[in-house]
Amino acid sequence: MKLLRVGPQGAEKPAVLDSAGKLRDLSGHARDIDGETLSPAGLAALAAIDVASLPVIEGMPRIGACIARPVNFLCIGLNYADHAAESGVPLPKEPIMFLKSLGAICGPNDDVLIPRGSTKTDWEVELGVVIGTKASYISEAEAMDHVAGYCVVNDVSERAFQVEREGTWDKGKGCDTFGPIGPWLVTADEVGDPQNLQMWCDVDEVRMQNGNTRTMIFDVRAVVSYASQFMTLYPGDIIATGTPPGVAFGMKPEPRYLRAGQAMRAGIAGLGEQSQRLVAA
C-alpha cells in the first residue's frame, strides 16, 4: 500500500494511492496515518479494504507529510561509504545518531525556507524507515519485524550552523521545513529489499545525487536495532538513514549551496518523488 495524507496544513486526511494512480479517501477507515494505523493490526485492517470502493479524491490537493505525530525523527549521519569518502572523513565505527526537530517536518512539495543568516543550506536525499511496532533493546534479527514501511526524506541541512558553530549538529538540521517527508509511505511488503534502492536528488533539474542504498555502512536492520539500544522507538517514528554522495558540502573545489529561487527534486525507486522551491525565511 501507498499511504499518504492530503489537504491543507494541519487539516490533512488519510488517503491511499490506488493501482491506477488515483487518490482514495481513507478517512472512513483510519483517523490518520499515525502510529495506530501503522501497527500490524492497523495495516492488516487497511489491507482488507477494497480500495476500488473508496471515494476518489478529485483534483490536485496538497500532499502533507505522510506520517502524523511521530514521537521521534531520528537521523543517521555519514552512513554511506561513498558519502563519507567525499566528505573526507573516516568510516564511523558505529552509527552516528542525531534527532531532527519535529518542527522541521513538512509536506513533500511544500516550500523549504532558507534560514536567516544561512550561507550553506544543503540537500540530502535519504531513505526514511517508519516504525510500526514499539522497539526497545531489539536484536538485528528482530529489527525488520518492527518496520511498517519506507518513504523519501530530504534531510535539508545548514552546514555553517551544523559544523562551524558551537554545539551539536542539531541547530543545522532542525530548522523549519528542513524535513520534507513523502509523498507517500510504502508498506514494507511492497518494498522488499531496502538495501537495493536507487535514489537521486536534482537541483534546478541538474542531477546532483545518484546513489543506491546498497552502499550504506550500517543497513536498515542494523540501524533499527542500534537505535533501540538508546531510545524506545514508537509506531510512526521516522529514521532517516543517511545520504549518498553528491551533496554541496562535498563539492570540490567550491561548494554550490542552495539559494532562494532554486528548486530541488528528490526520489527513491518505488517510493515516489518530492519537489520543493527554496524561499528566504
The CATH number that applies at residue 128 is 3.90.850.10
Confidence of residue 139 (pLDDT cuts 50, 70, 90): very high
Contacts of 141 (CB under 8 A, 6+ apart): none
**Residues 116, 217 within the same domain:** yes
Instruction: Show the domain range for 87.
Output: 73-280
**Phi, psi values for residue 12, rounded to 5°:** -70, 150
Residue 59 counted as domain residue: no
Residue 201 has pLDDT above 90, yes or no: yes
Residue 65 counted as domain residue: no
The full length of the chain comes to 281
Higher-pLDDT residue of 84 and 194 is 194
**Residues 167, 84 within the same domain:** yes
In this prediction, residue 168 carries a pLDDT of 82
In this prediction, residue 273 carries a pLDDT of 98
Residue 179 has pLDDT above 80, yes or no: yes
Residue 213 counted as domain residue: yes
Residue 63 counted as domain residue: no
